[in-house]
Each structure stands twice: as C-alpha cells, then as structure tokens.
Amino acid sequence: MKFFLDTANIEDIKKYAQWGIVDGVTTNPSLVAKEGVDFKTRIQEIAKIVDGPISAEVTEASADEMIAEGKEIARWHTNIFVKVPMTPAGLETVKALSKEGIETNVTLVFSVAQAVMAAKAGASFVSPFVGRVDDIAYDGIALIKDIVDVFQKYNFTTEVLSASIRHGKHVIDSMKVGADIATIPPHLFDSLVSHPLTTSGLASFAADWKKFQAK
C-alpha cells in the first residue's frame, strides 16, 4: 500500500517525509486555504520534498475552465496529479486531460457508480471519502471494498485512494480490503508508528543495558 500525506502544511510534510515511507501528497482547496499561501508556490515546494504523486485540485466548475486550469496546474511539476471533482464536467475534464497524458485524481467519490465512471473516463486515482461516509452512519470501508472488487472484476487500472481518513483503523481496514493508497492526515502518522508495548519494551531494554554497563 502507498502512504500519502493529506495536507498542504510544509512543516508536517518535511517532518514525516524524513521517515522515508511517504509516497505522495494530496491537497484540496480547503487544505491549501488553511495554509494561506500561494497555491502554485506551495505545490512546487511540496514537489521538491516528496518525489511522488502530488495532487492539486482545480477550482473552476465548467469543463472548459477545469480543462484549462488542469493543463496549467499540470505544468507546475512533472509529478502533479490534477484533482478533479466527481461531476459530469469533471468526467469530461478527466477524459480530456488523460488524452494529453495528464494524470488525474477524481475526488469526492461516494459510490461505486461514481468510481466506475471516473475509471472509464481515464482517472489515474479515485478518492472515495471514507470518513465522510462514516460521518453520516454509512460504511466507508465497505465502499472501498466494493470499488476494489468491481475494479478487479473489470480490470480497471485506476488506483483506489482511500481518503478522508479519520483514524488509524481506517488505514488498516483500507489495506485489508485492498485499497492501493491511503492518504493520511499527518497527525495519524504518530499514532500509527507507535505502540505502548514497543515503548515499554524499549525502556526495559535500555534500563537492563544501563544496569549491565554499570557492573
């Protein structure tokens, strides 16, 4: 499974990229707005830190405007994946951008039908929002599983990117059902990497070693 960071915060990206296990970064208009920085500049800064797919989302609504915006965004760096919303205009945009060899990530996906349509349009990634499905008392992981199963059944090459991750179990369960990628909020990296038995075990190793060295 590929682990992406879901943030536009450059300090968090620098911190967790150091671990050597970050395979890409996803952003969206809300995450970029939260940082209050120039969109292009921040995406290019991120691309210098993480050598992998960097998702940058179009903000226009019509197909013509999204296509033009997507082509401009794609020029910012070779690793850009243009993020496009799951709408009819978004499908038209993905079709046009993929014909020009531009990688795309279709976002705000909440059904198998939407995921299949995005794949048929030529999307590189589809991003089902697990957390937001759970938020309204439906089963986000079941959605991921259904999409993975249908993509395998019809040999779609589009990758399933589990998004809107709320906790570590979303990451684990996304793996168990076969998602290709999980895009993870930075703070969850700390909880995923640690375990109380690792912490206590290391402390006792150190204490025993210290006692032995003191003899």
**What residues contact residue 43 under an 8 Å CB cut-off, 6+ apart?**
27, 54, 56, 73, 76, 77, 80
Q: In whole angstroms, what is the distance from residue 164 CA to residue 214 CA? A: 51
- Choose the stretch contacting ligand G3P; rule: CB under 6 A; options: 40-48, 128-136, 188-196, 207-215: 128-136
Q: Which is nearer to ligand G3P, 30 or 155 (CB)?
A: 30
In angstroms, what is the minimal distance from the CB of 55 to ligand G3P?
8
Using CB under 6 A as the binding rule, whether residue 131 contacts ligand G3P is answered as: yes
Q: In whole angstroms, what is the distance from residue 56 CA to residue 73 CA? A: 7
Tell me which of 14, 15, 48, 83 is the catalytic residue.
Answer: 83
Beta carbons of 5 and 50 less than 8 angstroms apart: yes
Q: Which is nearer to ligand G3P, 81 or 129 (CB)?
A: 129
Q: In whole angstroms, what is the distance from residue 176 CA to residue 161 CA? A: 14
Interface with ligand G3P in residues 164-193 (CB under 6 A): 164, 183
176 carries an active-site annotation:
no
Binding site for ligand G3P (CB under 6 A): 6, 26, 28, 31, 127, 129, 131-132, 163-164, 183
